[in-house]
Structure 1
Amino acid sequence: MTQTSGELHAVDWTKHRLYVDEVGNSDLGASMDANHRYLSLTGVIVNLDYVLHVLAPGMEALKARHFVSHPDDPVSLHRKELVNKRPPFESLRDPQREQTFNEDLLRCLREWEYVVLTVVLDKLEHRERYVTWQADPYHYCLRVLLERYVLWLRRHNCVGDVMAVSRGKKEDSRLKASFRRIYEGGTEYLEAATFQQRLTSGELKLKKKDNNIAGLQLADLIAHPSFRTVLARAQNQTLPTTFGGRIGRLLEESKYDRSTSGRLDGWGRKLLP
């Protein structure tokens, strides 16, 4: 999945998937409270053959090394439960076991092959600048994320689809409709033909977090560190020495999409408006 410049002559029909997870508040209301001010969507691009043969088995092996995970009752990795050391992750209450797991996870995050796209929306600044909303915040971020994904597919001359975390029956229906509109009508910056040439389906796939889908678990693990990294860099701050900060540096070093000159902003990470 190394970035190359220019277009290839033949389409690579090897399929990729963008796994999407969210961080923050998607309500229209905004406040100075950081818990309500921002919405972030992170997409992780992975080759589906790689998911089958490397990522999914590797993630199951990671879980088996540190937790009680059986095929009949598999553990799903969720950052919030890991951080709070809730069952089935209570073994992480032991500092030594937590450190061992963290180092193992970092090694996996470094070795696995994937590309990261993160879009962060500052709802307060957007409201002050534009007064009225053109779209639901989640749908707005999804549109920008999809534009970058499709451009990545075009640059690499390959195809793919999209899977996101289910947000409930009513919201799922709205998300599917929003995705379909983009696929059928394009956006302000990309015509519909570009989406239709690169996306293998006009339907957004939605799955629950507890479905033990490796790509969604990967997106869940890096979504919050990536969100914090985008904010820190936008505010000219150094990344912390915390575990999340270490993940952020790893993403900057090798996982964010980037231009041929190495530029991350506007490519693998985007702060809106």
Structure 2
Amino acid sequence: MKLRIYIDEVGNSDLGSSDDPNHRFLSLTGVILDLSYVKDVLTPEMEALKTKYFESHPDDPVIFHRKELLNKKFPFHPLRDPKLEAQFNIEYLGCLKRWQYKIITILIDKKEHAARYTTWRYDPYHYCMAIIFERFHLRLQELKVVGDMMFESRGGKEDMRLKESYRGIFLNGTSYIKPMEIDETLTSRELKIKPKSANISGLQLADLLAYPSRRFALKHYNLLTDERITFNEKVIEVIEDKFFKRESILDGYGLKLLP
């Protein structure tokens, strides 16, 4: 068995911060999947869902994107029909509950970090990537399997810098993982980065879950300031049990708050 963690972010990755939650907090969410399951179950079921509601076609596939889906923008405009939207939501939540995956969300409070350390040792995005790397390594160790990591492309320079940072972890390890231990769990010294247009089901699932997972993390750490009840709460109810735990412990495994 080989696992892959598909990763997406919410928030700004720059070094600045403010009291605006969108700027203050950066989160990276990884969705861990068995690659055989991706091929045999996740991808065909996700494509069937798109075809049923949005007339997706192999020559011109619909790509799931949470923000566009939420706002019912093309190609998700059929959801402007309330009856169809209600039907889709039931089926969508059913998929999120039924599909087999684990979630890891890393949340960094950039304002707190700046106040505590004054200078940044790492790019916030790369810092979160290193921490999610460690948690994924723990999961692979726990299951005695191997795996790799995939991010959605953010552009040429950003992708190159992220790949370089990943190589550094592979070469030098982290504060908690020795390089020789990494060789036992991670199969690739090169980070996989793919564009949204590649229609990769794992990356789309990460995109769909990144914001609800961030909201769940903020609530868990008593940092949530937006108390509105939205569809995200229904998603959180479904995915709460999907977060990686060790001996029933969530904090430090499926969720991690960084200063």
Instruction: Tell me the TM-score normalized by structure 2.
Output: 0.96
Is the 1:239–1:245 Cα contact (8 Å) retained in structure 2?
A: no
User: Percent of aligned pairs with the same residue?
Assistant: 53
Superposed counterparts of 1:24-173, under 5 Å: 24-173=11-160
| Pairing partner for 2:236 from 215, 238, 248 | 248
Structure-2 residue corresponding to 1:272: 258
Q: Alpha-carbon deviation of 1:251?
A: 1.9
Which residue identity lines up with residue 85 of structure 1 in the other structure? K
Q: Alpha-carbon deviation of 1:272?
A: 1.0
| Pairing partner for 1:184 from 171, 178, 196 | 171
How has the CA–CA distance of structure 1 residues 16 and 31 changed in structure 2, closer, same or farther, with 3 Å as cutoff? same
Q: Alpha-carbon deviation of 1:185?
A: 0.7
How has the CA–CA distance of structure 1 residues 188 and 257 changed in structure 2, closer, same or farther, with 3 Å as cutoff? same
Which residue identity lines up with residue 66 of structure 2 in the other structure? R
Structure-2 residue corresponding to 1:4: none
Structure-1 residue corresponding to 2:206: 219
Query: What secondary structure sits across from 2:147 in the alignment?
Result: strand
Which residue identity lines up with residue 80 of structure 1 in the other structure? K
Structure-2 residue corresponding to 1:5: none
Query: What secondary structure sits across from 1:35 in the alignment?
Result: helix
Structure-2 residue corresponding to 1:195: 182
CA distance in 2, matches of 1:240, 1:35: 16
Q: Alpha-carbon deviation of 1:244?
A: 0.7
Structure-2 residue corresponding to 1:207: 194
Q: CA RMSD in A?
A: 1.4
Query: What secondary structure sits across from 2:220 in the alignment?
Result: helix
Query: What secondary structure sits across from 1:16 in the alignment?
Result: strand
- Gap regions ≥5 residues in structure 1: 1-13
Query: What secondary structure sits across from 1:235 in the alignment?
Result: coil
- Gap regions ≥5 residues in structure 2: none
Q: Alpha-carbon deviation of 1:174?
A: 0.3
CA distance in 1, matches of 2:206, 2:245: 18
Alignment: residue pair count: 258
Which residue identity lines up with residue 245 of structure 1 in the other structure? E
Is the 1:239–1:249 Cα contact (8 Å) retained in structure 2?
A: no
Which residue identity lines up with residue 80 of structure 2 in the other structure? R
Query: What secondary structure sits across from 1:44 in the alignment?
Result: strand
Superposed counterparts of 1:222-241, under 5 Å: 222-235=209-222, 241=229
Instruction: Tell me the TM-score normalized by structure 1.
Output: 0.92
CA distance in 2, matches of 1:240, 1:47: 35
Which residue identity lines up with residue 16 of structure 1 in the other structure? L
